[in-house]
Amino acid sequence: MATVGGIKEVEGFANSVEIDGLARFAVDDYNKKQNALLEYKRVVNAKQQVVAGTIYYITLEVEDGGQKKVYEAKIWEKPWLNFKDVQEFKLIGDAPTQSTPTESTA
């Protein structure tokens, strides 16, 4: 059970339809408000804080004009009120280049 007010890691965030949906919601919200064209790619990390609802801190990767960037979104959700609001959406930096994990050097 979540501790009220405490921030904790979201287990299984990489396979979570809910977290993926919140990340896409944040990117869409940003694109509308900033007249931008960020393209959602994936969730890098997710944390949550139980308050009057839940605040999610989602680190996500997007593509911006061919460049991969990492943003952090702070999303407040109250499911019983059908309420969802992006509190903050900020650029953290460029996404690190990484090799494909399925490739082997053997």
Q: Which residue has the tokens 């009220």?
A: 4
Q: Is 53 left (phi over 0), alpha (psi -120 to 50) or beta?
A: left
- Is pTM beyond 0.85 here? no
> 105 near 99, Cβ under 8 Å?
no
Domain boundaries, the chain: 6-94
Instruction: Convert the pLDDT of each residue in 10-60 to its tens digit.
Output: 999 988 999 999 999 999 999 999 999 999 999 999 999 999 999 999 999
The class that CATH gives domain 6-94 is: alpha beta
Write out the H or E segment, with its range, that includes residue 25: helix 17-34
Q: In 3-state terms, the chain is what percent helix, strand and coil (to 5)?
A: 25, 50, 25
Is 74 a residue whose pLDDT tops 80? Answer: yes
